[in-house]
A and B are shown apart, each in its own frame.
Chain A
Amino acid sequence: MEENKETPVFKTIIIDNIKYKTTLTKKFMARKSYEPINFNKVYSFIPGTVRKVFVKEGAKVKKGTQLLELEAMKMVNNITAPVDGIVTKINVKSGDLVSKSVLLVEMN
């Protein structure tokens, strides 16, 4: 099997201060840039359905307070506040389907 020789699009990649002329892969270009963990933002750790929301926007909560119930893979998961603070925004309501890493609740 001879591969079809398309003219490659050359880019630069830097390793140890040396610039190399090379091509990039789809996977490399699609890689996600790193975001530092922000404890004020609560993300879904698993895809599932929001069953109940226990708090309202503006509520003052303590670390460990139950924020909502996320049902996933036939298990009900309690999503709790990661820090003491005020709930500034709730992005979901009960019955919502969420995939993984969706921003559920924002705190201050």
Chain B
Amino acid sequence: MYALPATEAGIRDIKGTLSKSSDMSLTKKTSDLKKRMRDALMGGGQVAIDKQKATGKMTARERIIALVDPKSFHEYDLFVEHAGKDFNMGDKYLPGDGVITGTGTINGYPVCIYAQDFTVAGGSLGWMHAKKITKIMDHAMKLKVPIIGINDSGGARIQEGVNSLAGYGEIFYRNTQASGVIPQISVILGPCAGGAVYSPALTDFVFVVDKISKMFITGPEVIKTVLGEEISMEELGGARVQSEITGNAHFFALSEQECFEQIKTLCSFIPWNNIKKAEAFPKKPPRTRTYNIDSIFPSNPRQPYDVKDIIRSIVDDSEFFEVQAMFAANIVIGFARLNGNTVGFVANQPLVLAGVLDVDSSDKAARFIRYCDAFNVPLVTLVDLPGYLPGVDQEHAGVIRHGAKVLYAYSEATVPKMTVILRKAYGGGYIAMCSSHLRADFVFAWPTAEIAVMGPEGAANIIFRNEIKNAENPEEMRKLKIKEYKEKFANPYVAAAYGYVDAVIEPAETRSMLIHALEISAEKVEIPPIKKHGIPPF
């Protein structure tokens, strides 16, 4: 190949010997590449890096290196330059345009990844910055591997005007298209404000770190000018708020390192894409000495216990990886393994708010059910709930439409669905928690199960209203009738008699029953009616 020698060195090379000259030019060009790379790899420069570190944050590249397997990260688009022309932006050099993109592996599991670099123009999102992100997202979609986005950005690059908005829009569109096809993970390691928050909100899992992550639509400044209300970033949209109050975040960590460990654990439980199943692990029995059903479980339906311990007593190595642990703690969701295979657990938590369904817990459960269904993760539902939370605030917050999401999600899900009724399954709650009517494949009940239209006290008061009212001693009559109702209806056998419960089992048999159910439903295929898509009660 001949090219016109452009440099002085090149001209000299032609005069010298050919073989030597080509070697020299290669060395020179390589060293030129190295210099360019050195400049680009410095990001925003030492001062900016020091500033980032002073706030207790890692740099974008350090984060990627800490997250992926050693030496597995391969970076692309390092030499992309920003597209800003106005406001003297043309003269500015922004290395990599403030975002690092590439591919790597996590536990040998391929991923596409990007990390916004706060040291370069505050990680602000301009057109080329967005293009790098959308390019790696397109890549992830083509390769059918998860995409992980590390967010640390001051927001839109104001100097680029509508182009930065266009950039966000392109990302949101891809988030939506990729939803349910490849796992999408958002990691918030810095500010993520304004329109930028909608990319994480559209992804499957959002990770936050205490005192580092901040998410909000309008920041404290705006709130102060418009409303005169003073609030800190932390109180407005810090990691704890997002994990506990809003439910926007799914995983809360105290340090970036802990956060990366959580991501690695999550990646071990989920499949690469919606065609695959999650990787199988070696089988392990549960640690029943620590998690013993007999000592955890009170049969009195009014007594609380931690349902997570029941899950641990059933699953491999008693390892339960909880999702959204702090939000709507009255329902528990998360991943575990049965005989090496990933399952998703949804369980009422009697320890918190008696395990009721309410607006938040319905939202939380419904979204997780849809995640599991989209990614071929079988569902195990543990039922122990007194019903829906009564209250004006709940009704006015739309508990009807939120509660309906659970019914929708379970009815729509075609993955193997297994339900175990532990104690209470009253009224609408019984139907909602993956009853056979919503097409659970297997419904098991413990002998302690109480499947009834409502709790015995309430039911007796209605059915025997007149007997109680007209009795000589109404209180005694009430007690008598409650007892009568309890004996007749507060058990699993009425439902079993109608075939709504497939088997009444001893608690100790639960694991083996679930494993068997899982094994024989491995090839389950259910074809839903042809439609463009349903209209879930969002």
CA distance A77 to B350 in the complex (A): 47
State whether the Cβ of B457 lies closer than 8 Å to any Cβ in chain A. yes
A15 partner residues in chain B, CB cutoff 8 A: 354, 356, 386-387, 389-390, 455
Give B108 Cβ to nearest chain A Cβ, in Å: 22
Given known A-B contacts A13-B353, A27-B360, A47-B226, A18 and B391 have beta carbons under 8 A apart: no
- New A-B contacts (12) at CB < 8 Å, excluding given A16-B457, A17-B455, A47-B226: A15-B386, A18-B301, A18-B386, A20-B304, A20-B354, A23-B304, A23-B351, A25-B328, A25-B329, A26-B245, A28-B353, A32-B393
CA distance A26 to B467 in the complex (A): 42
State whether the Cβ of A1 lies closer than 8 Å to any Cβ in chain B. yes
Q: Which of B351, B387, B392, B393 contacts A22 (CB 8 A)?
A: B351
State whether the Cβ of B454 lies closer than 8 Å to any Cβ in chain A. yes
CA distance A24 to B390 in the complex (A): 14
Given known A-B contacts A25-B352, A97-B228, A17 and B457 have beta carbons under 8 A apart: yes
Q: Which of A19, A22, A33 contacts B353 (CB 8 A)?
A: A22
CA distance A16 to B304 in the complex (A): 17
Q: Please indicate which of the listed interface residues A8, A24, A25 has the most CB atoms of chain B within 10 Å of its own CB.
A: A25
Contact A25 B227 (CB under 8 A): no
State whether the Cβ of A63 lies closer than 8 Å to any Cβ in chain B. no
State whether the Cβ of B303 lies closer than 8 Å to any Cβ in chain A. yes
State whether the Cβ of A21 lies closer than 8 Å to any Cβ in chain B. yes
State which size class the interface on B falls in: 35 or more
CA distance A15 to B391 in the complex (A): 10
B328 partner residues in chain A, CB cutoff 8 A: 25
Contact A16 B352 (CB under 8 A): no
Q: Which of B294-348 contact A (CB under 8 A)?
A: 301-304, 322, 325, 328-330
Give A51 Cβ to nearest chain B Cβ, in Å: 14
CA distance A31 to B389 in the complex (A): 13
Closest to A96 in B: B228
CA distance A91 to B346 in the complex (A): 50
The interface size of chain A toward B, counting residues with CB under 8 Å, comes to 29
Contact A3 B325 (CB under 8 A): yes
Q: 11 A-B pairs, CB-CB below 8 angstroms?
A: A1-B258, A15-B354, A16-B386, A16-B387, A18-B302, A20-B386, A22-B350, A23-B351, A28-B353, A32-B393, A47-B226
State whether the Cβ of B461 lies closer than 8 Å to any Cβ in chain A. yes
B interface, CB within 8 angstroms of A: 226-229, 244-245, 258, 262, 301-304, 322, 325, 328-330, 350-356, 360, 386-387, 389-393, 396, 426, 454-458, 461
B244 partner residues in chain A, CB cutoff 8 A: 26-27
A17 partner residues in chain B, CB cutoff 8 A: 455, 457-458, 461
Q: Which of A10, A18, A28 contacts B455 (CB 8 A)?
A: A18
Contact B353 A16 (CB under 8 A): no
Give A102 Cβ to nearest chain B Cβ, in Å: 10
CA distance A32 to B393 in the complex (A): 7
Contact A19 B302 (CB under 8 A): yes
Contact A10 B458 (CB under 8 A): no
CA distance A32 to B397 in the complex (A): 12
Q: Which of A29-57 contact B (CB under 8 A)?
A: 31-34, 47-48
Q: Which of A20, A27, A47, A73 contacts B302 (CB 8 A)?
A: A20
Contact A13 B354 (CB under 8 A): yes
CA distance A5 to B17 in the complex (A): 77
Closest to A47 in B: B227
CA distance A28 to B426 in the complex (A): 22
Give A66 Cβ to nearest chain B Cβ, in Å: 23
State whether the Cβ of A108 lies closer than 8 Å to any Cβ in chain B. no
State whether the Cβ of A99 lies closer than 8 Å to any Cβ in chain B. yes
Give B232 Cβ to nearest chain A Cβ, in Å: 17
A24 partner residues in chain B, CB cutoff 8 A: 352-353
Q: Please indicate which of the listed interface residues A13, A16, A23, A47 has the most CB atoms of chain B within 10 Å of its own CB.
A: A16
Contact A10 B304 (CB under 8 A): yes
CA distance A33 to B360 in the complex (A): 18
Closest to B349 in A: A22
CA distance A48 to B225 in the complex (A): 10
Give B154 Cβ to nearest chain A Cβ, in Å: 23
CA distance A73 to B225 in the complex (A): 11
Contact A18 B458 (CB under 8 A): yes
B355 partner residues in chain A, CB cutoff 8 A: 22
